[in-house]
Amino acid sequence: MSDDSIQKKVFLGILVGVGVGFATALLLAPQQRTRLRTALLEGARDAAERVTCLARGTDVWHQRKTERQARTLVDRIERMRSAGL
């Protein structure tokens, strides 16, 4: 077996493990814990994106993270405007 094949299996295993863990945590979280669910979903997206981007290089990861944070900021500003603040 080549090293490349082993690395792909490790990345896939990590990705599947993170996904199953976050899905379980979401199912077990009580209904009142929407902030927890939001944070867990954000963490799951972050982990999946990190694994995908790190295969391409750290610059891609930092660029995507910055873009996502900018979108989040714009979304929050729009919600505040629509609420009349």
Quick: pLDDT tens for 31-80.
656 777 777 778 877 777 777 777 777 677 778 778 888 888 898 888 88
CA terminus-to-terminus distance, the chain? 60
5 three-class SS: helix
Q: For the chain, which residues make up each domain, given as ranges?
A: 3-82
- Residue 32's pLDDT is 57
pTM, two decimal places: 0.40
